[in-house]
Every structure is written in structure tokens, then in C-alpha cells.
Amino acid sequence: MFHLLLLAAVVLGGYVFLTQTLFRRSKCHGNAAVAGKTVIITGGNTGIGKATALHLARKGARVILACRNRTKAETAIADIKQETGSTDLLYMQLDLASLKSVRCFASTFLKTESRLDLLINNAGLVADGRTEDGFGIEFGVNHLGHFLLTYLLLERLKEDGGGRVVTLSSMAYRWGHIDLEALAVNKHLGTGRYSWQFFQAYCNSKLCNMLFTHELAKRLKGSKVTCYSVTQVCLSAPAGVVRTELSRNVSLWQKVFIEPIARLLFLDPEAGAQTTLHCALQEGIEPLSGRYFSCCAAQEVCTWARDDTMARKLWDVSEKLCGLS
């Protein structure tokens, strides 16, 4: 009996320690005015994206949910309207696994919307397979689709000044590796049906997010537009520690392993959205453009996530893959 009580005490103590340190919550205190401003959130129909949309709609922003699934987006809009009273929400179809869809979205947006103040590259997935254009699904959706979307909307972001681009990365970037020669030949940064294979591909795509933001900041110098990459947890926590639908594409047995742990330790979407909201709303962080934020604070990153040469080469390759050069 004593040993059971001792074990329970150790488990409870470990849980309290983790939730107060590695998994501690943070709160966005940014209060920049967004009433009358226009926001695009990719994947804004669920999880962190929906929580972000709800907060910004409550503050009076015009929120555009850029999503693949119309039914889920319209359900999310109805929920947000009911909770906030806002009527300035709009669904626009966007499939990041199709460069044609990304171009169509950007074209429609530029024709119908007069301004863009905040672009939140929120959507992401863990899965295996290929995009419509033949790219690895994680590289194509998590990086390349967002790269093209941002590229096509940059001039509109610059028009009113003070625009921001927030891209969701992950602590998984730490385990990422980018082989540009293999990418040029295979059109992916890792694939395979085993968990470790597409998790590695996910890590690689998250490193792309980091390098993209690093290079974008350099290219935005001289403009009033800034950019930030974010994760939803504190610096020492593992990747994917927000309870979202990120793992909706993995197999049933993998979910059986992931879900109980997620419910025990991982953040809910509202808590997970706080760093995104911080980078969207906090005044005075403009000098930190290009930096990586976690727990509502700028963090130092591994050297390979701020490699100027690799960031520039990835940008150039991404342009070619998108048919921009």
C-alpha cells in the first residue's frame, strides 16, 4: 500500500511540475486596436485558428476564414457569431494542397477586399501523401502553400502600413533537416507510411516555417510590415502540445496513443492561441520581426533555424516550385 501511495505521489508531483514548467500557460496582454481591420486565418474553422478568430472577431476585426471545408467553416462562423455578436466574418475557399487554389484565393481576395492588415498562416497537418501538384503533403501544405499565399498578398499588406504575418511553427523544427537537392528531385522533404517517417517530414516542414519567417523579415526591411513565427507552448516543451485536429490524418492506433496524453497534458486551443494573439496584437514588438515566439515571448532558436544562407536558398527554391521565377 505504501508503495502505491508513493507512486501516486510521484506521478502527481511530476504532473504538477510539468504543468507549471514545461507545459505552463501564458496569456496574451496585447491590446492593439483591430476594429475595422481585415484578418485572414488559414485553417480558421477549428482548433487554434478558430480560437484566434473568435478573439479577433470579439475585438471588431473583419475575419476571413480561409479553409478547405465549407461546412466546417460555416459552422465555425455560426459559433463565433453567436458567442461574439460579430457579423463581420466571411468564409473563402482555400486548399493549401493546391497551388491553383492558393492563386484563386489570392485573386478573389485582392478583387473583393480593399485592405489586409493581418495574415495568420495557421493551418497545418501531420500526414503522408502528395498534394495536387505532386509535393509531399506536409511540405506542400505546411510550407509551400503558405509561402505562395504570403507572396501573393504582400503588396496588399504593405498598402496600409503596419501589417503583420504570423506563421505557426512548432518546437519540432529542432529535429528538422532540409536537403534542397533531394527536394528538387523528389518534391518532398520526407515521406513514408510509418509514424517516424511522416513525423520527420513534419519536423522538416516546421523548420521551413522558421527559415521562411527569417528570410521574409529581411525582405520586408524598409516597409512597415513585420512577421513572426510562433509555437503554442513554452521553449522546453515537445512539439504538438496543443489539443487540435493536427493529428486528424494519422491512423487509428496512433490516435489511441496520442489522444490520452494530449488530454492529460496538452493545452486547449484557447490557451494554445495566446502566442499567436500576442504576435497579432502586442504593440512594440516590431523590432523583433523575424523572431520566434513561444509563451508570448521571443525565444532564442537553434542555429540552423536562423541560417541566412539556407533561408535564402529555401526562398529561391520555393519561388521556383511555385512558378514565380
- DSSP assignment of 43-88: TTTSHHHHHHHHHHHHTT-EEEEEES-HHHHHHHHHHHHHHH----
- Four-residue CA torsion sign, 279, 284, 286, 288: negative
Cβ burial, residue 88 (10 Å; 0-12/13-18/19+): middle
Residue among 91, 173, 194, 202 flagged as catalytic? 202
Picking from 238, 228, 242, the residue whose alpha carbon sits closest to that of residue 168 is: 228
Distance CA 180, CA 312 (A): 12
202 is catalytic: yes
Backbone angles phi, psi at 89, to 5 degrees: -125, 145
DSSP state, residue 238 = P
Picking from 265, 231, 239, 269, the residue whose alpha carbon sits closest to that of residue 20 is: 265
Q: With contact defined as beta carbons under 8 Å apart, do 133 and 140 qualify?
A: yes
- Residue found under cell 516597409: 223
**Which residues belong to the active site?**
202
